[in-house]
A and B are shown apart, each in its own frame.
Chain A
Amino acid sequence: MNHDRTLGNRLFDWVNGTILLLIAIACVIPFVYVLAISFTSPAQVAQGGLILYPKEWSLSAYRYIFSTDTLWRSMMVSIYITVVGTLINLVFTSLMAYPLAKTHLRGRQYILLGVLFTMLFSGGLIPTYFVVKAMHLTNTLWSLMIPAAISGFNLIVLKNFFQQIPDGLEDSAKIDGCNDLGILFRIVLPLSMPAMATFALFYAVGHWNQFFNAILYINDNTKWPIQVLLREIVILASGRIGDTDIDDADIQPLTIRMAVIVFATLPILLVYPFLQKHFSKGVLLGSVKG
Chain B
Amino acid sequence: MALDSTLARPKPAPTKRSAIRTLMRDILRDRWLYLMLLPGIAYFIVFKYVPMYGVTMAFQDYKPHLGMLNSPWVGMKHFERFFAEPQFWMLFRNTVLLAVYNLVFFFPMPIILALMLNEVRSGGYKRFVQTLIYIPHFVSWVVVVGIFYLLLTTENGVLNEIIFRLTGEKIAFLLDPDWFRTMIISQSIWKEVGWGTIIFLAALAGVDLQLYEAARMDGAGRWRQLWHITLPAIRSTIIILLILRLGNFLDSGFEHIFLMLTPTNRDVGDVFDTYVYVKGMTQAQYSYSAAVGLFKSVVGLGLVLGSNWLAKRFGQEGVY
Contacts and interface: CB of A to CB of B under 8 A. Distances in A.
Given A116-B1, A276-B131, A289-B240, A124 B34 contact: no
Contacts of A100: 37
B25 to A, nearest CB: 10
Nearest to B202: A284
Interface in B133-168: 133-143, 145-147, 149-151, 156, 158, 161-162
B138 A129 contact: no
A179 B49 CA distance: 31
A6 to B, nearest CB: 9
Interface stretch (A69-77, A103-111, A189-197): A103-111
A122 B52 contact: yes
Interface string B107-146: 0000001001101110001001101111111111111011
A233 to B, nearest CB: 9
Contacts of B66: none
Contact of B138 (A8, A109, A269): A269
A36 B241 CA distance: 38
A81 interface: no
Interface in A258-290: 258, 261, 264-265, 268-269, 272, 276, 279, 283-284, 287-290
A118 B39 CA distance: 16
B120 A16 contact: yes
Contact of B142 (A116, A127, A234, A272): A234
A2 B222 contact: yes
Interface stretch (B79-87, B94-102, B175-183, B287-295): B287-295
Contacts of B39: 92, 95-96
A257 B131 contact: no
B277 interface: yes
A146 B42 CA distance: 12
A290 B320 CA distance: 11
Contacts of A147: 47
Interface string B208-226: 0100100010000110010
Nearest to B117: A20
B104 interface: no
Contacts of B149: 234-235
Contacts, number: 291
Interface in A1-53: 1-4, 8-9, 12-13, 16-17, 19-21, 23-28, 30-31, 33-34, 48-50
B33 A102 contact: yes
Contact of B3 (A1, A109, A211): A109
A276 B127 CA distance: 11
Contacts of A268: 138-139
Chain B contact residues (Cβ within 8 angstroms of A): what range?
35 or more
B312 to A, nearest CB: 15
Contacts of B137: 205
A127 B51 contact: yes
Contact of A13 (B57, B119, B198): B119
B304 interface: yes
Contacts of A48: 156, 158, 161
Given A131-B46, A268-B138, A287-B199, A123 B40 contact: no
Binding site of B, secondary structure by majority: helix, strand, loop or mixed? helix
A212 B293 contact: no
A246 interface: no
Contacts of B158: 33, 48-50
Given A23-B129, A95-B36, A131-B54, A1 B142 contact: no
28 contacts: A13-B119, A24-B129, A33-B158, A48-B161, A96-B40, A99-B33, A104-B30, A105-B33, A106-B23, A106-B26, A121-B298, A123-B55, A123-B293, A124-B294, A124-B297, A126-B293, A127-B290, A131-B54, A150-B40, A150-B43, A181-B35, A184-B36, A227-B142, A234-B146, A264-B140, A264-B142, A265-B143, A288-B244
Given A103-B6, A123-B51, A184-B36, 10 more contacts: A2-B222, A4-B216, A23-B194, A24-B128, A114-B49, A130-B57, A155-B40, A205-B137, A254-B150, A289-B1
Closest 9 CB pairs of A and B: A123-B51, A127-B54, A96-B40, A124-B293, A209-B140, A180-B32, A234-B146, A99-B33, A24-B132
Interface of B: 1-4, 6-9, 23, 26-27, 30, 32-37, 39-41, 43-44, 46-55, 57, 68, 113, 116-117, 119-121, 125, 128-129, 131-143, 145-147, 149-151, 156, 158, 161-162, 190, 193-194, 198-199, 202, 209, 212, 216, 221-222, 225, 236-237, 240-241, 244, 247, 254-255, 258-259, 273, 276-277, 280-281, 286, 289-290, 293-294, 296-298, 300-301, 304-305, 317, 320
Interface of A: 1-4, 8-9, 12-13, 16-17, 19-21, 23-28, 30-31, 33-34, 48-50, 92-93, 95-96, 98-100, 102-106, 109, 111-116, 118-132, 135, 146-147, 149-150, 155-156, 179-181, 184, 205, 208-212, 216, 227, 230-231, 234-235, 254, 257-258, 261, 264-265, 268-269, 272, 276, 279, 283-284, 287-290
